[in-house]
Chains A and B, each alone.
Chain A
Amino acid sequence: MPKMNLSHFEAAILFALFSSVVLGVITKRTDSERLRYGVRCFAYFVVALIGLGWLMKLGHG
């Protein structure tokens, strides 16, 4: 099996993507609600990822 090297950002984005898909699928009752919820979860993941990334960068000085 090929070895994969991902950066922190790529790995976190993939994690966010697949987690959002599952959260969207299992949470809501209609397909449109599921899609909206999944997209919203993904957006929250990305915002948190970028926010925490900047926080760590600024915290390091």
Chain B
Amino acid sequence: MATDVKAQAAAPPARGWYGVVLLAWLVPGGGHFLLKRPGRGALLLASVAIMFLLGLMMRGAMFQPQTGDVLTTIIYCGGFLGDLAAGLFYLLTVWLGYAQPDMAGHVHDYGTKFLVAAGLLNVLAMVDAYEIAKGEKE
């Protein structure tokens, strides 16, 4: 009986997910913090933030959306969306004037990939927050 009550108390309330997903985009892990999962939120925040910072420290380039042939469109528009998915980190970085040109060299190349990967990891975190908010997942 007591365990039933405890399980019900721990069950996530089904709530509006728009705000959760928006916060999860702006602040990586923010959706989890809002849904009272601070430990998981902190791990997500740390992972995405460190990955983004490493990308900046390796002087990675930010993608700008470009169209042309199919491959160019996929790479540049996809890369831009990946960068944008890092939320406030991306917005602040651009706002503060970071504009690294695309340069040859494996370190710059890794930096560019780290910046995109940070955004893509945040997309996974947003999906997780969405599922928790919808009550589909604990």
**Chain A residues at the B interface, C-beta cutoff of 8 Å:** 1-6, 8, 11, 14-15, 18-19, 21-23, 25-26, 29
Contact = CB atoms under 8 A, between A and B. Distances in A.
A6 B107 contact: yes
Chain B interface size band reads 20 to 34
Main secondary structure of the interface of A (DSSP, over half): helix
B20 interface: no
A3 B54 contact: no
Main secondary structure of the interface of B (DSSP, over half): helix
Contact of B121 (A6, A11, A19, A29): A19
Nearest to A5: B107
B40 interface: yes
A22 B121 contact: yes
B128 to A, nearest CB: 4
B59 A26 contact: no
Interface string B53-65: 0101111000000
